[in-house]
Structure 1
Amino acid sequence: MTRPVRTTDADVPRRANGTPPWRYAVGMFGTSIPINLAKGSVILYYVDILGMDVRAYGIVMTVYALIDAVDNPVLGYLSDRTRSRFGRRRPWLAVGAPLLAASMVALFSVPSGLEGVGLVMWFAVFAILTEAFDSLLNANYGALLPELFPQERRRAVANGLRQGFQLVALVVSLAVTPVLTTSVFGTEETTEGFRTTAILYGVLACAVILLMATGVRENPDHATEHRPAFFRGIAAILRNPMFWTVGLVGACYGVSMALVLSGVQLYVRYSLGLDVEYAFYLQGVVIVVAAGGLIAWTRLVRHYGALRIWRIAFAVLALSFAGLFFATGLVPALIAGAAVGIGWSGMLATNDLVVARVLDADAAAHGEHREGLFLSAFGFFGRLNGVVTGLALTSLGLWFGYNSGDDPGADPGLAFRMYLCVYPFVLTMIGAVAARFVTVPEPTADRPEPEPAR
């Protein structure tokens, strides 16, 4: 008698669902370039070069958070209810990519001579549109991860690959950007380089997102279900305690990294006393170390599970910010940056997997696949980034006298040590402690991934 063969996760065909992991993962490269250019350079562009007051920046970010609290769930809801021959998510990805690129280019194309209220209004309109289209893309892109890769071990691999592509995008959109904007296409004190760089990145992002969107194969079973109701879905999400615990703790990580990304160029200029283009080296070290660490953290996740490693990574990231505060030159800053890269890669490898467990549990409990709505609701916590970044920047004016590049105050170096190091340290320490008390369901037992529609 022939003994039955036990099927394990490793035995599942690599393309059982019709989508190779790399084809899905490469989309992260395209979605990351525009928004990280905006987050990493908008303060330098508007506040330090064009002279917009930091208080205006803070007000715009606060107003946007209120708008986003409404538009994010609506965008996710529309995605969940979409039924088309191309799937639920792919049409939105194809439409959202050029819209995000266009708004990002406009954000860095302020007409010559525009200042005062006109400058603030231009910033408000295109900053809000850029963030909104980024929300549209990421709600749909993120919803595909649990759908295409339902097993946590394989999901960890797909997530590791996409985070690796995000790090490559960060090399392009953050580390290379200061060189392009100040040396190749422009100068330290002008804005022409930002517009040219934005156009280049916009074209690249569209091409990559469309490559991904045309190659993924959504699960047809999800699209044949009845369409979820908006208010009933929102109510169920708000009643889910995991939405609040995972969302708020994850926001401590997200806000911290938003502060780092938005402040690194000014930290290099004022705290280290170097030209902005030296941010290339600091950002490059962080990203290269994070890329290498991502491999190790992903292996730990596959062995010990996402939740346990998530808690450890939070603590590692929190402790890493102390070194940046005490760095007095480029070399000490590079060493401290490497420590940040290690902690950051741990969060990249785990945070989305913890969120995916929440989505799995919601689908199992309610019989509806409303990943778009749920992720958009989670996006509300992510959009706290803009509010906290604005408040943190405003506090530099209140406490250190930094109001703009035209009025930097007596000690802008200490101001941006506070912004880049102390604020993230406090937030991530809160997150590391709170993560010890967060619980999410164990991953579903291994099961074959769905076959693609014929």
Structure 2
Amino acid sequence: MFQPERTPAWRYAIGMFGTSIPINMIKGSMILYYVDILGLDVRAYGVVMVIYAVIDAIDNPLLGHLSDHTRSRFGRRRPWLVVGAPLLAASMIAFFSAPESLDGMGLVLWFAVFAILCEAFDSMLNANYGALLPELYPRERDRAVANSLRQGFQLVALVISLAVTPLLTTQIFGSENSTEGFRTTAVVYAVIAVVVIVFMALSARENPRYSTRERLLPSVWSIVRNPLFWKVGLTGACYGMAMALVLAGLQLYVRYSLGLPVSNALYLQGIVILLSAGGLAIWTRVVARRGALWTWRISFVVLAAGFAALFFATGLVSAIAAGALLGAGWSGMLATNDLIVARVLDADAARNGTHREGLFLSAFGFFGRLNGIVTGLALTSLGVFFGYNSGDDPGSDPGLAFRVYLCVYPFVLATIGALAARFISIPVEPAPAADEPGVEQPR
């Protein structure tokens, strides 16, 4: 019987570094780049975010289904990863290369086209990369270690793509009110991402028996009829939407709410991310002792408390202190959220006798698409309640506006998630099959 070779956890995990750098630069800098510097109206931004979320919700299941059905000597996931990496890189460079002559509808169309392309190719990468986790590491203990490592690599990528980016774009490669620094930074990150993703993809040892021939519509119908899909998806979306607001608005929170240069986001983001990375080892031990579900519930509570503390920060030092608590909750969510989702995938495979992780994760990606809608609507609400419409028209109190955007809205979402998580139960860990990696074969 075929026994797939185990993929080293560190080599799988490093792929998260490559997938995280591009999309987090995009999400962390798009408002600053398009709204505050180029003058895109927040109402146009909100409309585009809703449209792209709808398109992405449609193309995600299709991409996942195509991945599950791919049959090649390179496996199901690797071809998509190798092709998707340069496509995302090229789209990101174009996203941050808007011609300075563009304004009005021309600027809106440029933003919309490349925002949608970036999100589509990011979805292609993450559906395939995420599908490898339950396949390569079927036992929860091994899975928790691999997940902890990849989240650690993600946090390193976040230090670079979020914390270091403002320094690169506004000081080293450009200035506070120019765009050339964004284009240069995007090129550097694109090269790094492609090299890392391809390096990871070439090492993945997929199990050929996991290939499926299920038709798309019956598979999708089976997934949407699964109550656990909705419970876990919507609860996890509360965490995802809260962090999406943070990623999108932190630089402007630093500028307006703390009254500091955008480059100071380096210190706030960097320290919070580093503390979160250190907390992964602690949370992974808690998972081993108390289980993923219990740890997931506690992490939601800590995350909500961190947002509450951040609202009252008045300077960089107090913001960092509040951010430490936020980072602890974030670290716990990183250590557990994908484990909860993977357990749902395990149960689906056991019940239906087929491994369709690509389609299932893409379906879960529907909830991730809510991030774009929420960030768009939240930003639009700042114009309604506080008069912030763009960098050219910031209203009378942009500091309070971004304090609400970055703290109040995420606090409400995290609190809803914490309450919902208390009522969710997940299937017990399944016994690994005899031909899965790490399982000794009978002699």
Q: From 416, 422, 428, give the equivalent of 1:436.
A: 422
Q: From 201, 205, 209, give the equivalent of 1:221.
A: 209
Residue 161 of structure 2 corresponds to residue 203 of structure 1 = no
- Output the CA distance in 2 between the equivalents of 1:375 and 1:52: 33
Q: From 78, 83, 93, give the equivalent of 2:81.
A: 93
- Output the CA distance in 1 between the equivalents of 2:282 and 2:214: 39
After the TM superposition, which residues 159-178 of structure 1 pair with which residues of structure 2 at under 5 Å, given as runs?
159-178=147-166
- Output the CA distance in 2 between the equivalents of 1:56 and 1:105: 22
Deviation at 1:447, TM superposition (A): 5.8
Q: From 215, 228, 231, give the equivalent of 1:245.
A: 231
Q: Call closer, same or farther: CA 1:446–1:81 in 2, change over 3 Å.
A: closer
Partner of 2:97 in structure 1? 109
Query: Is the Cα–Cα contact under 8 Å of residues 403 and 409 in structure 1 kept in the other structure?
Result: yes
Partner of 2:304 in structure 1? 318
Query: Is the Cα–Cα contact under 8 Å of residues 7 and 136 in structure 2 kept in the other structure?
Result: yes
- Output the CA distance in 2 between the equivalents of 1:451 and 1:282: 41
- Output the CA distance in 2 between the equivalents of 1:168 and 1:451: 28
Query: Is the Cα–Cα contact under 8 Å of residues 307 and 411 in structure 2 kept in the other structure?
Result: yes
Please provide the CA RMSD for this pair: 1.2
Q: Call closer, same or farther: CA 1:448–1:152 in 2, change over 3 Å.
A: farther
Q: Could you say what secondary structure the match of 1:300 adopts?
A: helix
Query: Is the Cα–Cα contact under 8 Å of residues 137 and 437 in structure 2 kept in the other structure?
Result: no
Deviation at 1:448, TM superposition (A): 5.9
Deviation at 1:112, TM superposition (A): 1.9
- Output the CA distance in 2 between the equivalents of 1:94 and 1:368: 25
Query: Is the Cα–Cα contact under 8 Å of residues 151 and 447 in structure 1 kept in the other structure?
Result: no
Give CA-to-partner distance per residue, 1:374-409, whole Å, 9 cap, x none. Answer: 000000000100000000000000000000000000
- Output the CA distance in 2 between the equivalents of 1:29 and 1:352: 16
- Output the CA distance in 2 between the equivalents of 1:228 and 1:312: 38
Query: Is the Cα–Cα contact under 8 Å of residues 30 and 208 in structure 1 kept in the other structure?
Result: yes
Query: Is the Cα–Cα contact under 8 Å of residues 17 and 449 in structure 1 kept in the other structure?
Result: no
Residue 243 of structure 2 corresponds to residue 257 of structure 1 = yes
Partner of 1:409 in structure 2? 395
AA of the residue aligned to 1:402: Y
Query: Is the Cα–Cα contact under 8 Å of residues 54 and 369 in structure 2 kept in the other structure?
Result: no
The normalised TM-score by structure 1 is 0.95
Partner of 1:182 in structure 2? 170
Partner of 2:118 in structure 1? 130
Query: Is the Cα–Cα contact under 8 Å of residues 79 and 89 in structure 1 kept in the other structure?
Result: yes
Residue 41 of structure 2 corresponds to residue 47 of structure 1 = no
Query: Is the Cα–Cα contact under 8 Å of residues 4 and 205 in structure 2 kept in the other structure?
Result: no
- Output the CA distance in 2 between the equivalents of 1:238 and 1:444: 22
Query: Is the Cα–Cα contact under 8 Å of residues 245 and 410 in structure 2 kept in the other structure?
Result: yes
* Identity rate, percent: 72
- Output the CA distance in 1 between the equivalents of 2:124 and 2:355: 17
Partner of 1:307 in structure 2? 293
Residue 347 of structure 2 corresponds to residue 346 of structure 1 = no
Partner of 1:142 in structure 2? 130
**Which of 91-100 and 60-69 deviates more?**
60-69
- Output the CA distance in 1 between the equivalents of 2:437 and 2:392: 60
Deviation at 1:199, TM superposition (A): 0.3
Query: Is the Cα–Cα contact under 8 Å of residues 17 and 148 in structure 1 kept in the other structure?
Result: no
Q: Call closer, same or farther: CA 1:76–1:390 in 2, change over 3 Å.
A: same
Query: Is the Cα–Cα contact under 8 Å of residues 75 and 373 in structure 1 kept in the other structure?
Result: yes
Residue 23 of structure 2 corresponds to residue 35 of structure 1 = yes
Query: Is the Cα–Cα contact under 8 Å of residues 318 and 429 in structure 1 kept in the other structure?
Result: yes
Partner of 2:182 in structure 1? 194
Deviation at 1:65, TM superposition (A): 1.4
**Which of 200-209 and 322-331 deviates more?**
322-331
- Output the CA distance in 2 between the equivalents of 1:109 and 1:298: 41
Partner of 2:284 in structure 1? 298
Give CA-to-partner distance per residue, 1:218-243, whole Å, 9 cap, x none. Answer: 012213xx411101100100100011
Runs (4 or more) in structure 1 with deviation over 6 Å come to: none
- Output the CA distance in 2 between the equivalents of 1:54 and 1:36: 20
Query: Is the Cα–Cα contact under 8 Å of residues 149 and 449 in structure 1 kept in the other structure?
Result: no
- Output the CA distance in 2 between the equivalents of 1:310 and 1:449: 30
Partner of 1:278 in structure 2? 264
- Output the CA distance in 1 between the equivalents of 2:190 and 2:64: 23
Residue 38 of structure 2 corresponds to residue 71 of structure 1 = no
Partner of 1:18 in structure 2? 6
- Count of matched residue positions in the alignment of Structure 1 and Structure 2: 436
Query: Is the Cα–Cα contact under 8 Å of residues 47 and 54 in structure 1 kept in the other structure?
Result: yes
Partner of 1:9 in structure 2? none
Partner of 1:266 in structure 2? 252
- Output the CA distance in 2 between the equivalents of 1:348 and 1:449: 29
Name structure 1 gaps, 5 residues minimum.
Answer: 1-14
Query: Is the Cα–Cα contact under 8 Å of residues 17 and 450 in structure 1 kept in the other structure?
Result: no
Query: Is the Cα–Cα contact under 8 Å of residues 96 and 133 in structure 1 kept in the other structure?
Result: yes
